[in-house]
Structure 1
Amino acid sequence: MNYSVLISSMLLIYVSLFILNLLKIRSTDKLLNLITMTEKEEKGIYKRIPIGIQAPKFELIDFKGNLHNFSNLRRPLVLLIVNNNCSACSLDKWEFEKYAKTNRNLDFVLVVNSSKDLRPEDENLEVQTTNYRILKGNIDFLKKFNVKEYPTFIVINQDNRIVGYPVVTDNIDYYSKKLAFEN
């Protein structure tokens, strides 16, 4: 076996992992999603609601059957929309939950498309924190927010305007500081 080829391959893998870690992207699926999302936006295939535009009103239910509408949720608000077929979503859900526990100045809403996206401990977390909700998404909601890719983050400010689309959970810190500066 040629050791120089082996060493070169190992070095390439190490550098790739290092770059992914720097970007806080721990899933190649997520990296591919980001690349295709950017290409789609550039080509005009996928249009998000422009930043600064009023967020659409919505009504969603939780898994206990309680109705939650947009006007009753506290602001600023961070939405994470996930799909049970999305392999990159599980890491974001875990980080989102962790972030909600430590950031009381924002409200966090996890929007899932089915009960398959939930774990038994999710219900306990929702009860323990006052700034975290888990709601069941529907087609109307996805259309209003033009959700085409998963996971999708949306940050909404006090004035109900969309202020950003974080790429990963760690980007929420930036928006948290930006929102604090607005107030």
Structure 2
Amino acid sequence: MKKHRLHSNTSSEPPAKKGHWALGLVDSMKDPELLVEDDDKVVVIKDKFPKAEFHYLVLPKEDIPSILTVRKEHEDLLKHMESVGTNLAAKHPHREFQLGYHSVPNMQRLHLHVISTDFNSTCLKTKVHWNSYTSPFFRSSQDIRRELNENGKIKKMSCEECDAYLKGPLKCHKCSTIPKNMPDLKRHILSHIKN
């Protein structure tokens, strides 16, 4: 089965070699042009390829490969990451935000997406991009923390489930509109943006 780049790097695969694109977040954490804020536990950066008007990543300073490798001892860290993301979103009261993780991330280093739901970005180009934030493939921070609390780890989504979500039909995330294609969707979602 063909894997999408979005979920091609999982905890069951060997770690990426130095210089591999999957390690790009580690370099981005050190880029002063991307840095938003940091504290003793996390670094917040602007997403290099934002999929919305506001798209931030909250990354731990601790070297944790992905959401699939977090364990019970990381509960406080995930709570802190969510708190930092919530405070960041509150600085943009004119936009709605969602905070969450891709079920099977493609970039190594745990990262929480803090993304405005306008999805108004030239970097949002494909159905996979859209569905990775607007389907159950994108899991809320609260759901992830609840699962970690209950099970001590995060269950990996199967490739079949990932494909079903990522290849599913385009749907507006705000209403019942089903657009023909990405250009049609991008025109439509502008109608939901409050100025």
Common topology (TM > 0.5)? no
Higher Cα Rg, which structure: 1
State the TM-score, normalized to the length of structure 1: 0.27
- RCO higher in 1 or 2 (8 Å CA, sep ≥ 6)? 1
**The structure with more helix, counted as a fraction of residues:** 1
